[in-house]
Amino acid sequence: MWRTERELEQAQENLEYSGQDLRVFIADILPQNISEEGEIRDRMLEVENLVNTYGWVVILEHIQKRGIPDYKTYIGSGKMDEMIDEMKLKECNLLILWNILKPSQIYNINELLKPIGAKCWDRVDLILKIFERHAKTTEARLQIELASIKHMWPRIFDMGMELWKQAWKWRWETNTEIMKRHLNRRKEAIKKDLAKYARVRAEHRKGRSRKWFFTVGIVGYTNAGKSSLLNSLTGKWVLAENKLFATLGTSVGKLWIEWKQVDDTKYIPGKEVLLNDTIGFIRNLPPKLVDAFASTLEDSIESDILFHVVDASDPKIHEKIEVVDDILEKIWATQKKLYVFNKIDMISEDQKKKLTEEFQDLDVIFVSSQTQAWFTELKERILLESMY
């Protein structure tokens, strides 16, 4: 058992860096209007996949419907006590609420979790941790650090308010002001560094434009197979894992498309095109995280055409198409879009026929990154689009 208040705090601070396996209790607080069991289960499955992506183990799950979130703990004091008892019984040391909590709510929950040496994260915390683990480039790491500062800023202020209740006011003001100045300086330094990367990328785009490169932006829901499509088309090796957010930065690959005979007297000359793969989206992706990766999304936004890659085998295909289209609209990606239904090797001909009928209003082409089925048609389509 923990002996002092400081030991409790230290246990929480070091939890995710201790090297031990984190045993996770995930909870999702749903609005009253969500009634479909499939949708409820799908939300929980998504957070499970995120936890598994990080490499942890889900021990317990809890779903609760509330009309209005509890002011102090979001989930309510009675349910919170029940969850703490379950966590203690199963030796869980991390509570993940699949909601976005106020700073005071996170603070209050962590205070309640101190006696069992556990801590709490919300949706943004979890995604930021996954981003941090998957960041391979300096730019991606800077973007994540900036998003983390923006996310933690209100919590630091709120924590200061709580400390003010327990200590001398002048001391709280001093510590808080020091922290604010430090974070402000760091935030401005990161913004300057990211601006440099953005300028370099802008120059690269200008260079491609001068060389008349036709560019394709690859976007889609996370784990739809965007990186696999890029790899198969270009022969470029980009990490393609069956994990959420395996790709965080922008990867650019070149594709040479052979000339195409149109008729006896006309043909389209061959062309080299560029394909840009970038971060995947998920439902309810917090705006601050979209903003964090705005610079790496620029290559896709400014491409000549977008390939919206869709997992054709996904039972939630309609919802995920809507999520991606909504985010593209928010970031002003308004150019022509081709819906690339990937993974057709995982569906039957009847399923494919049904999808063709359901999405007849969209510009759809079916492919398989695994078997390269319909790649010839996809390349011909790129060639034709590059003529306009």
- Strands 119-121 and 94-97 turn out to be parallel
Q: Is the pLDDT of residue 158 over 70?
A: no
DSSP 345: G
> Does residue 219 contact residue 278 with C-beta atoms inside 8 Å?
yes
Q: Is the pLDDT of residue 245 over 60?
A: no
Would you tell me the crossing angle of helices 294-301 and 169-210 to the nearest 10 degrees?
20
Would you tell me the crossing angle of helices 103-113 and 138-166 to the nearest 10 degrees?
70
Model confidence band, residue 173 (pLDDT cutoffs 50, 70, 90): low
- Strands 23-30 and 94-97 turn out to be parallel
Q: Is the pLDDT of residue 9 over 70?
A: no
pLDDT digits (tens, 9 = 90+) for 100-157: 898 889 989 999 999 998 999 998 888 888 878 777 778 878 888 888 888 877 776 5
The fraction of the chain above a pLDDT of 70, given in percent, is 79
Output the average pLDDT for the chain.
80
- What is the reported pLDDT for 2? 44
Q: Is the pLDDT of residue 232 over 70?
A: yes
Q: H or E segment at 268?
A: strand 267-268
DSSP 23: E
- What is the reported pLDDT for 65? 82
Which of 79-93, 123-137, 339-353 comes out lowest in average pLDDT? 123-137
DSSP 378: H
- What is the reported pLDDT for 175? 65
> Does residue 244 contact residue 49 with C-beta atoms inside 8 Å?
yes
